Amino acid sequence: MTVETPSGADAYADATPVSAAGWVRILAGYREPDTLRSTFEIGVSLIPFAAIWTVAWLLIPVSPLAAAALACVNGLFLLRLFCIQHDCGHGSFFSNRTLSDWIGRAIGVLTLTPYDVWRRSHSMHHSGAGNLQRRGMGDVLTLTLEEYRARSWFGRLRYRAYRNPLVLFVLGPAYVFYVENRVPLGHMDAGWRIWVSSVGTTLCAGLMVGLIAWFGGLMPLLLIFVPTTLVAATLGVWLFYVQHQFEETHWDHPEDWDMHDAALHGSSHYVMPGWLQWFTANIGIHHVHHLYSRIPFYRLTEVLRDHADLAQAQRLSIAESLACARLHLWDESQRRLLSFAEARAA
């Protein structure tokens, strides 16, 4: 089977095999960022974020509830800033890697995410996604059905607790962004840059929180800072979850694993309304992102426009994604994720 390259990618006008590796050559034509566009995307994310923070602060004496509600809305802008930080980590946002890195580090103070630590763990995630022997770094822990059955009753109980939606999507985000990100867990021996990133981000975030408390007391922290960061963290964790935790995802042992196949078939295409796609910076087009992570987020829609095969692959609606929260175990024989109930029946 072949796909005809549309006029928007003349450099790849020859018929190209529709395989995961074949797509990589095509997607290379979309990798170049536009400096003005990238600068614009930062502005339309950061300026409203700061403005809403200010308005919410002014609303506290008038209506604390309205201030908190506005802060929750602002969590969407913080989520978008995290997605820009994500692109900076891939070196896809600006052609100048140094500029991308420092913008990522600055945004990391707002998102409570040490940029260099996150970039390292996220790189591990990309390089080993779908490899059963490389789980546990930068991903959601997923056991195979046989691994789960081999555990003691207490081991099964711990895994069930970990995969509980209350833990994954409520307690987990708060723990990751408020606690875990303060120390470079899993990277303790990765060198001084990792520690500088972790400690430096924590100190800068602590200074930011201290200034808020100094000028406004506890109320801005409780009514604005906490709701904003929690909404962004919770939505971010959910997005990351459904990008790889869907029924027909892709896992293999090293001898059968291929990076490009895992990227294409193990990442979802999360279809969202236009406004939500804007706030999430097209991160739902995750199968394309994993195939070629150097594509700026604002060019991912060009890929879908030009290539119908990718536009239709791994489509997952919001309604369909809700069922993914009950999938917990990878069945190697059926090659799909199962719920605990299905695992018992199996």
Q: Quick one: pLDDT at residue 235?
A: 97
pLDDT, tens only, 221-251:
999 999 999 999 999 999 999 999 999 999 9
At 296 the pLDDT is 98
Burial string for 120-143 (b: 16+ CB within 10 Å, else e) reads bbbebbeebbbbbebbeebbbebb
pLDDT mean over 165-193: 88
Give the residue numbers spanning the domain of 70: 2-315
Look at residue 107 and tell me if it is in a domain.
yes
- Inside any domain, residue 104: yes
| Domain assignment present for 330 | no
Contact between 37 and 28 under an 8 Å Cβ cutoff? The reply is no
Pairing of β 2-3 and β 16-17: antiparallel
In a domain, 321, yes or no: no
273 within domain boundaries: yes
pLDDT value of residue 2: 34
Count of domains observed in the chain: 1
In a domain, 81, yes or no: yes
Could you tell me if residue 331 is inside a domain?
A: no
Q: Is residue 337 part of a domain?
A: no
Residues 6+ apart with CB under 8 A from 51: none
Residue 136 confidence (pLDDT) above 90: no
Average pLDDT over residues 68-84: 98
